[in-house]
Structure 1
């Protein structure tokens, strides 16, 4: 009897439940159908199964015992829970994007102020020597080169008066501008000493021993303009970043400013007491120069019509490069490598005989630093030197904490004079212009060296960059 009574009680519940269910359905109509359909679409089978039960029997009992109102309430709660989770995920994604945008904006502000310092040097490891590529095409030493802003092309120039456009991916020559003929004026007739490309890749500028600056279209390698005005070899060229304003330096001791868009000369700056050997610039309307044997580095403030004079090297300064608007690196023929800030007239640090010495005991000389390069807005710099032997090296350095030290990371063995060095914008590779002779003269010659350019892949350790690596 107990069992029978229990049966009828359950049966009664089922009948009452179904009666109430039909009543509720009649009262709710289409609203309940739409809600149920929406919930069935948006609630996953896993979450529904977890809420109802873990087996079919529990689900059937709950369906039998649950009223229509209770089911509607339960499904509504599940629906709200699903919406809450979606909102939380959306908020997390928006916060992540906001952090990325905030980080980029912070970097842009720091870069504009000239204070962006990405701490990247610690991630680099010594490259595999077998992966270094040598591209040959020039008959005489390579004197200068640039990498296109998109890192797809390299332009190199030589003492043979030619300019070659290279494809980085395959290493093929895409175009060669050969030495010109007397009287034409649209090609170089003298050794090419300097080269620069605008930050948008629209213009390429080259300067030669015959005092001329030629402007080219990098895409087609067609000659556009010729600038005349210097009274000696054009030894340095640089486009102001984000503009088509061109700075040029010469052995005539002057710096000139040009407007390439208007094919116009702007002004001349004087101050160096010897031939200028190197020049660089970034976004600000200013440039820096190395004064050769006058042993000074100068920062030229174009708008203020002023210049800052820096002393530190004890011999001829042959190369200079800006790291950002606040710091710069220079090299001299006494083998010293110096790290500077524009806020102090003396170097922050100087590494003596940075590339070692050569010669017999008693008459040993430091290896001459012939080129420097910097990965823009980072703590990674490179230097190249000349040597009387075949054991020349390219060295990569880390600017230590506060940019108050230079720490050697590793050496890359090469043969010959490292006449030019450039990092790719991405920092994925380094390009070296090599020759049997120094770019500015022929004091000695290394017959075993090859005239060409080395593309050196730069490897990073698998350790990921941690947040806050930019200052």
Structure 2
């Protein structure tokens, strides 16, 4: 027989919770009223203190959401607000003669897909065929010094460095309006970049440890996408970080034990990667102006480095160790890709000793040239990148394969043959004397638009060549030559028409970016060139004997997409 003292505690508790009475009903009503008041107060505070882009509809005077809104309902409501925001950004009041609803739907879907691809680091912009490279407009930078080694961009500003330790800040001119007539009575538009600031180091203070500027030739420069920091690396083993507004040094890093050869900022962040001849890659945090860590693995000087967009990774090449390495900083791992096989055709298959069946544009048949050094690298997307070598090969890589999936040989052709008096000091040459075969021109500069299919290369053949990555990411095709001469329609791998080309020097650095201003879309390519290589005096005097300088090409976008869209869509009333 059960009693109060023998009943289990669980039953006692359950009976107590189930028990109802006048006192309990009052307590429940009072608690409900207090919860309503606290919820209302909480909603009011959230609305008044919200700083997000997608604000609560209550702040706009809309009907308040129900108090029992679930997490799924809230996500749906925020997604609808996001779509409305995108729709407002993509509406174009100037477009008429088509179904606006269909166009808005297409633009919203395209924007959502683009945002998703950028988040995952996938190629989302196929822009190579959208620009008219034959209509490129060239602009010269007015310089008082030569031997330009590097260039960095953070629109609308450009930063250049030279071997005489000079750093210059420039402001870009506004984009060219193709609708403007030559005989227009309007005020002429400024075409040349304007020098804003300039600082120069003092080589005589090399022994002064407190000196905050470079005391040796500057080899590389990089600007953060946030526009706050500028970093330079030099032969004096220093990395100096500047305030972009005043070009005053903020911090000097001396952790590298040899010359700093390349710098790269993480897009949309202030994290910096550096490469050096001491065979290391170092990571720096510019927000704290502090050193983070060192990455080991290369067996030779690390001569170029590039940061990945969207993820904490970087890509480096190790010169004569003939490797490219992807550094996964968070995972503390690396992927190694080995080159050095040489190629005689547009394939990654084993190379035969026979000449390639397809002849290059100049009539020069492809031969096998050994790859002795990988000098340049550029990122296409998270799984795709390109490298440039001293045998003139432009290689396309994917992270799933350890060998290039495509190789473009003799990207900038062969050097001019030597004359007999240049090859030998003898006055009378014997019958057995043979001139050495012409060697390929190195790829001395390489750049790309991240997450797009556009790649540009430079050497000492007097021009900048433009390439497009195939949609299947297994090939490269030439698009043209950036210069105002008739050599645009000339051979890709030949020497024909070189006397007409405009760059009189060796291209040491390239930068390419898109910009949209005053309703005009254009692609800008900036090249820094010199009479000698940035890392030494190799090939001094090549490239038509030029002294050096900086050039900018502005390529207009073709206006064909909108016309086709208007023609395809029926006119709506």
Q: CA deviation at 1:460?
A: 3.2
Structure number having the greater strand percentage: 1
1:251-292 alpha-carbon deviations (Å, 9 max, x no partner): 100001111111211110100000011000022111000110
**Against the structure 1 CA distance between its residues 154 and 127, is the aligned structure 2 distance closer, same or farther, given a 3 Å change threshold?**
farther
Quick one: which of 109, 132, 148 aligns to 2:138? Answer: 132
Q: What does 1:165-176 correspond to in 2, within 5 Å? A: 165-169=169-173, 170-176=192-198
Matched, 1:247 2:253: no
Report the Cα distance in structure 1 between the residues aligned to 2:213 and 2:551, rounded to whole angstroms. 25
Instruction: Look up the match of 1:420.
Output: 509
Residue pair 1:298, 1:308 contacting (<8 A) in 2 also: yes
Report the Cα distance in structure 1 between the residues aligned to 2:382 and 2:237, rounded to whole angstroms. 29
Quick one: which of 439, 451, 455 aligns to 1:365? Answer: 439
Residue pair 2:384, 2:396 contacting (<8 A) in 1 also: yes
Coordinate RMSD, CA, aligned: 2.1
Instruction: Look up the match of 1:394.
Output: 464
Report the Cα distance in structure 2 between the residues aligned to 1:325 and 1:166, rounded to whole angstroms. 31
Report the Cα distance in structure 1 between the residues aligned to 2:144 and 2:304, rounded to whole angstroms. 23
Matched, 1:237 2:237: no
Quick one: which of 109, 112, 122 aligns to 2:116? Answer: 109
Residue pair 1:318, 1:369 contacting (<8 A) in 2 also: yes
Matched, 1:142 2:148: yes
Report the Cα distance in structure 2 between the residues aligned to 1:241 and 1:133, rounded to whole angstroms. 27
Instruction: Look up the match of 1:459.
Output: 556
Q: Secondary structure at the match of 1:214?
A: strand
Quick one: which of 400, 407, 412 aligns to 1:355? Answer: 412
Q: CA deviation at 1:411?
A: 1.4
Report the Cα distance in structure 2 between the residues aligned to 1:415 and 1:381, rounded to whole angstroms. 22
Report the Cα distance in structure 1 between the residues aligned to 2:479 and 2:414, rounded to whole angstroms. 19
How many residues align? The count is 370
Report the Cα distance in structure 2 between the residues aligned to 1:404 and 1:100, rounded to whole angstroms. 28
Instruction: Look up the match of 1:292.
Output: 319
Specify every segment of 5 or more residues in structure 2 that has no aligned partner in the other structure, as ranges. Answer: 1-95, 174-191, 341-370, 418-434, 483-500, 516-521, 566-573
Instruction: Look up the match of 1:179.
Output: 201
Q: CA deviation at 1:444?
A: 2.8
Instruction: Look up the match of 1:68.
Output: none
Report the Cα distance in structure 2 between the residues aligned to 1:405 and 1:219, rounded to whole angstroms. 42
Q: CA deviation at 1:93?
A: 5.9
Report the Cα distance in structure 2 between the residues aligned to 1:339 and 1:136, rounded to whole angstroms. 36
Q: What does 1:271-290 correspond to in 2, within 5 Å? A: 271-282=297-308, 283-290=310-317
Residue pair 1:421, 1:432 contacting (<8 A) in 2 also: yes
Report the Cα distance in structure 2 between the residues aligned to 1:302 and 1:189, rounded to whole angstroms. 32
Instruction: Look up the match of 2:448.
Output: 374
Structure number having the greater helix percentage: 1
Residue pair 1:127, 1:456 contacting (<8 A) in 2 also: no
Q: Secondary structure at the match of 2:478?
A: strand
What is the TM-score normalised by the length of structure 2? 0.62
Instruction: Look up the match of 1:305.
Output: 332
Q: Secondary structure at the match of 1:424?
A: strand
Q: Secondary structure at the match of 2:143?
A: coil
Residue pair 2:157, 2:169 contacting (<8 A) in 1 also: yes
Instruction: Look up the match of 1:9.
Output: none
1:209-238 alpha-carbon deviations (Å, 9 max, x no partner): 111000011122221111110001111111
Instruction: Look up the match of 1:36.
Output: none
Q: Secondary structure at the match of 2:125?
A: coil
Residue pair 2:123, 2:453 contacting (<8 A) in 1 also: no
1:126-147 alpha-carbon deviations (Å, 9 max, x no partner): 3447x31121325231111111
Specify every segment of 5 or more residues in structure 1 that has no aligned partner in the other structure, as ranges. Answer: 1-88
1:296-354 alpha-carbon deviations (Å, 9 max, x no partner): 00000111111100012422011111122221111111111111112221112111111
Report the Cα distance in structure 1 between the residues aligned to 2:142 and 2:403, rounded to whole angstroms. 40
Matched, 1:337 2:394: yes
**Against the structure 1 CA distance between its residues 122 and 218, is the aligned structure 2 distance closer, same or farther, given a 3 Å change threshold?**
same
Report the Cα distance in structure 2 between the residues aligned to 1:456 and 1:266, rounded to whole angstroms. 37
Instruction: Look up the match of 1:158.
Output: 162
Matched, 1:321 2:325: no
Report the Cα distance in structure 2 between the residues aligned to 1:347 and 1:248, rounded to whole angstroms. 25
Residue pair 2:504, 2:548 contacting (<8 A) in 1 also: no
Q: Secondary structure at the match of 2:472?
A: helix
Report the Cα distance in structure 1 between the residues aligned to 2:470 and 2:214, rounded to whole angstroms. 42
Matched, 1:213 2:287: no
Q: CA deviation at 1:250?
A: 0.4
Instruction: Look up the match of 1:85.
Output: none
What is the TM-score normalised by the length of structure 1? 0.75
Report the Cα distance in structure 2 between the residues aligned to 1:346 and 1:299, rounded to whole angstroms. 14
